[in-house]
């Protein structure tokens, strides 16, 4: 299935508290040609979202420290910025695409680059 060109040019905000996992995700996305921003917590991601207009994809882990987890962040983003595609990941919590807000996608860890790109492409 060919990737949506609009999705492939969107800036991706990667939200992951584990630095090594975040680095791998950022590398996968940059290798695929995406511009990438990153945050270690949902609170830091929210601050980035409030000032960065170019974000088209939120890729967030579920379990994170701070005032909200990745699912709460995704829900808030869906309400405030419905144009942002949502991809949520976890290695501990088993969810389904149907559990995601705003036609987002769930990606079980560990994931491969092709799986991540497909999740971004199919997220609405």
The tens place of each residue's pLDDT in the chain, 124 residues long, gives 445 555 557 899 999 999 999 999 999 999 999 999 999 999 999 999 999 989 999 999 999 999 999 999 999 999 999 999 999 999 987 788 787 888 899 999 999 999 999 999 999 7
Tokens of 61: 């882990």
* Residue 114: count of CB within 10 angstroms of its CB: 10
**5-122 carries CATH number 3.40.50.2300:** yes
Give long-range contacts, CB 8 A cutoff, 24+ apart: 65-74: 65/17, 65/41, 66/41, 66/42, 67/42, 67/43, 68/42, 68/43, 69/42, 70/15, 70/42, 71/101, 72/42, 73/15, 73/42, 73/45, 73/46, 74/100, 74/101, 74/102, 74/104
Give the pLDDT score at 92.
85
- In this structure, the strands spanning 11-15 and 36-39 are parallel
User: Angle 113-122/19-31 helices, nearest 10 degrees?
Assistant: 70
User: Residue 56 is inside which H or E element, if any?
Assistant: strand 55-61
The domains of the chain are located at: 5-122
Give the pLDDT score at 6.
52
Give the pLDDT score at 97.
78
Tokens of 65: 């420290």
């Amino acid at each position: 299935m060919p990737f949506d060109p609009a999705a492939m040019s969107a800036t991706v905000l990667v939200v992951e508290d584990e630095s090594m996992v975040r680095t791998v995700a950022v590398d996968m996305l940059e290798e695929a040609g995406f511009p990438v921003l990153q945050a270690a917590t949902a609170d830091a991601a929210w601050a980035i979202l409030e000032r960065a207009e170019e974000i088209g994809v939120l890729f967030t882990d579920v379990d994170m420290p701070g005032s909200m987890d990745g699912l709460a962040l995704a829900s808030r983003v869906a309400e405030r910025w419905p144009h942002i595609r949502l991809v949520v990941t976890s290695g501990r919590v088993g969810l389904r695409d149907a559990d995601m807000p705003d036609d987002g996608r769930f990606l079980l860890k560990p994931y491969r680059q092709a799986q991540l790109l497909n999740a971004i492409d199919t997220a609405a």
